[in-house]
């Protein structure tokens, strides 16, 4: 997030898109809902009528996979009515003219045809967002999990820059991180192209610094593969070995039949986890580790705040710390890594990570600090880009709408979109151990509109077969006013009716994120 969570309550207009916030970030949604209580305006732009719609000034419903079109449409209205923050654009941004030229044809009427959003609704949101003293954009996987995910995000950045809503309290472009330490895993260089704090692996200086700090030689200058590519390479036989930590791709990956063949193809699979999962079942070696409540360390939250994690219970006999296991393997391979505890590791992290340099465990003992924090006197940076953007000028990107990789046809007439429910988390490895959560959300369901259910002649609670070009699952139909005709939602938590057997593994070319939010499916009544 460019801004803080608390900052959301300071916004005059909150634009939420591709986020079922009350279910996936319940506590963060309280900031949005309280802002509405204080008279601020919230607009929800989402294919489903999720709970947040109850709190919204208006819910705008785009066809899944048409985000660039409505964002360009908002910009079209703002520019044609002269509501843009021209000073911000002139002083702090570049490439505006090219973007302006592209959005020219995205008139509200044209956008209505592409997205289904009524032209006047689009105008209303555009005017309110542009006229707001501070307007924030909060988005989640509904924006990113598309073959055009990167362009969707860039479009939101365009919109925010256009209105001058960046670099100030109550503004910003704010991705909501879905897992406790996604931010930290990225910051720590758990990505194929960057070291810690996003230093590129292609930089000789950066690698040299690390080789010196770590006393190793021969680090690779070639960016590696993202997870989905590793699976493809395994499928093709080029990838021979994978080491998977705390993740269950056999439920969370797209096109699971493909993923399964990929893992089966490996010569050697190591999985490190706290429970047996669908993925550990395929491993050559399974390594048990400590869980969250047994660890000392840090997580970095969605707003870039580095916070302490503390051991609350003593670990059971047998498992080890995740980092300790890796150290032990490294040392068996001839290295001499040695750390007394997690704290010593954090000191090394601070030393090699510019944005974490000023953060110490002592400083974050009571309250976490937002990176970048370059030195120990620095208070941290709650709001990014206040004076200038990281790259200097904010770059406008001229982006055209492109349709999703797979659209409905006669054989697969429905659009499937996937996500989570309030009571479960990802593949359920943790939440499904709490009976109460299972009672409140016991099984998979196929969320459908009343109109579609009626047309199919299948009633609420009846079992249906759902199939796509890639797979088939069986689950209970749930007629819901969250669903809009033509679009089906299935949560991906449940291994026994895994939505990801259906999803499409087509990737965004830049971020390599799969298109979980749109694929084509068919639904039929299941025979008893």
Which tokens hold the place of 339?
Answer: 């750390």
Burial class, 31, CB count within 10 angstroms (exposed 0-12 / middle 13-18 / buried 19+): buried
What are the distances in angstroms from CA 72 to CA 99, 106, 114?
A: 9, 6, 11
Closest contact distance (angstroms) between CB of 216 and another protein is 4
Give Cβ neighbours of residue 125 (< 8 Å, ≥ 6 apart).
Answer: 15, 43, 45, 58, 60, 74
- The nearer residue to another protein, 190 or 413, going by C-beta atoms, is 190
Cis peptide before 523 (omega within 30 of 0): no
Minimum Å distance from CB 20 to another protein? 12
Pick the closer one to another protein by CB: 204 or 409. 204
Nearest to 359 by CA among 338, 345, 375: 375
- Closest separation between CB of residue 39 and another protein, Å? 14
Closest contact distance (angstroms) between CB of 264 and another protein is: 12
128 vs 253 by CB, closer to another protein: 253
The radius of gyration of the chain from alpha carbons, rounded to an integer in Å, stands at 24
Nearer to another protein, 111 or 153 (CB): 153
Q: H helices of 277-366, where? A: 322-332, 342-352
Of 120, 133, 123, 145, the residue nearest 20 (C-alpha): 145
Token pair belonging to 69: 């079109």
Q: Closest approach of Cβ 14 to another protein, in Å?
A: 13
Is 424 buried (19+), middle (13-18) or exposed (0-12) by CB count in 10 A? buried
Pick between residue 439 and residue 528 the one whose CB is nearest to another protein: 439
SS3 415: strand
Specify the residue, 313 or 528, whose C-beta has the smaller distance to another protein.
Answer: 313
Name every residue whose Cβ is closer than 8 Å to that of residue 393 and which is 6 or more positions away in sequence.
92, 93, 94
Comparing CB distances to another protein, the nearer of 196 and 522 is 196
Min dist CB 290 to another protein, Å, is: 9
Give the residues across from 366 on adjacent strands. Answer: none
Query: Least distance (Å) from another protein to the CB of residue 489?
Result: 17
Q: What are the residues facing 60 on neighbouring strands?
A: 45
523 and 449 in contact (C-beta within 8 Å)? no
Cβ neighbours for 56, distance < 8 A, ≥ 6 positions apart: 16, 36, 42, 43, 44
- Compare residues 339 and 389 and give the one whose CB is closer to another protein: 339
Provide, rounded to whole angstroms, the least separation between the CB of residue 261 and another protein. 17
| Smallest separation, CB 349 to another protein (Å) | 5
Which residue number, 96 or 423, has a Cβ lying nearer to another protein?
423
Pick the closer one to another protein by CB: 70 or 423.
Answer: 423
Give the DSSP letter string of 235-284: HHT---EEEEES--HHHHSSSHHHHHHHHHH-SEEEEEESS--TTGGG-S
**Closest approach of Cβ 64 to another protein, in Å?**
18
Using the 8-state DSSP alphabet, how is residue 514 labeled? B
Nearer CB in complex with another protein: 100/304: 304
Helix axes 108-115, 67-80, angle to 10 degrees: 170
Strands (E), 39-170: 41-45, 58-60, 93-94, 135-139
Contact 506, 145 (CB under 8 A): no
Q: Are 72 and 103 in contact (CB under 8 A)?
A: yes
Quote the tokens at residue 83. 């509501």
Q: CB 417 → another protein: shortest distance, Å?
A: 15
Whichever of 430 and 525 has its CB closer to another protein, that residue is 430
Nearer to another protein, 364 or 523 (CB): 364
Task: State phi, psi for 83 to the nearest 5 degrees.
Answer: -95, 0
CB of 500 to another protein, least distance (A): 9
- Closest distance of CB 132 from another protein, Å: 21
């Amino acid at each position: 997030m460019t801004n803080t969570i608390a900052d959301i309550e300071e916004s005059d207009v909150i634009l939420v898109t591709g986020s079922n916030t009350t279910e996936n970030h319940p506590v963060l949604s309280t900031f949005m809902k309280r802002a509405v209580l204080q008279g601020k305006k919230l607009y929800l732009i989402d294919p489903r009528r999720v709970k947040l719609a109850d709190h919204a000034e208006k819910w705008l419903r785009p066809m899944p996979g048409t985000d660039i079109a409505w964002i360009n449409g908002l910009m079209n209205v703002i520019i044609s009515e002269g509501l843009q923050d021209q000073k911000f654009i002139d002083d702090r941004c570049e490439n505006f003219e090219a973007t302006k030229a592209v959005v020219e044809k995205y008139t509200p009427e044209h956008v209505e045809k592409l997205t289904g959003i009524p032209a006047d609704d689009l105008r209303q949101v555009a005017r309110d967002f542009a006229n707001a003293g501070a307007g924030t954009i909060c988005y989640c996987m509904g924006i990113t999990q598309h073959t055009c995910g990167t362009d969707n995000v860039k479009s939101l950045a365009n919109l925010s820059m256009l209105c001058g809503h960046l670099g100030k309290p109550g503004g910003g472009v704010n991705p909501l991180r879905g897992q406790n330490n996604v931010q930290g895993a990225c910051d720590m260089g758990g990505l194929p192209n960057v070291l810690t704090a996003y230093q590129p692996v292609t930089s000789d200086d950066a690698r040299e610094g690390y080789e010196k700090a770590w006393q190793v030689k021969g680090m690779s200058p070639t960016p590696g593969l993202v997870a989905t590519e590793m699976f493809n390479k395994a499928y093709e036989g080029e990838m021979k070995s994978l080491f998977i930590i705390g993740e269950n791709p056999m439920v969370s990956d797209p096109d699971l039949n493909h993923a399964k063949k990929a893992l089966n193809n490996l010569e050697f699979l190591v999985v490190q986890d706290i429970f047996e999962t669908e993925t550990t079942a395929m491993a050559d070696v399974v390594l048990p580790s400590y869980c969250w409540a047994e660890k000392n360390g840090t997580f970095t939250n969605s707003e870039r705040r580095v916070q302490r994690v503390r051991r609350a219970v003593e670990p059971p006999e047998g498992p080890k710390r995740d980092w300790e296991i890796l150290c032990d393997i490294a040392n068996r391979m001839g290295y001499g890594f040695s750390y007394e505890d997690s704290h010593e590791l954090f000191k090394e992290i601070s030393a090699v990570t510019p944005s974490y340099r000023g953060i110490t465990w002592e400083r974050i003992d009571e309250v976490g600090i937002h990176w970048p924090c370059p030195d120990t006197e620095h208070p941290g940076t709650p709001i990014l880009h206040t004076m200038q953007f990281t790259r200097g000028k904010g770059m406008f990107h001229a982006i055209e709408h492109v349709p999703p990789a797979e659209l409905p046809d006669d054989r697969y007439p429905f659009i499937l979109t996937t996500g989570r429910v309030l009571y479960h988390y990802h593949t359920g490895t943790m939440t499904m151990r709490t009976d109460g959560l299972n009672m409140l959300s016991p099984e998979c369901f196929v969320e459908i509109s009343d109109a579609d259910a009626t047309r199919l002649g299948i009633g609420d609670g009846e079992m249906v077969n759902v199939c796509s070009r890639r797979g088939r699952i069986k689950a209970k139909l749930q007629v819901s006013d969250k669903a809009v005709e033509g679009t089906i939602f299935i949560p991906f938590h449940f291994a026994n009716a895994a939505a990801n057997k259906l999803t499409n593994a087509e990737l965004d070319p830049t971020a390599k994120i799969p298109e979980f939010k749109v694929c084509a499916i068919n639904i039929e009544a299941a025979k008893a």
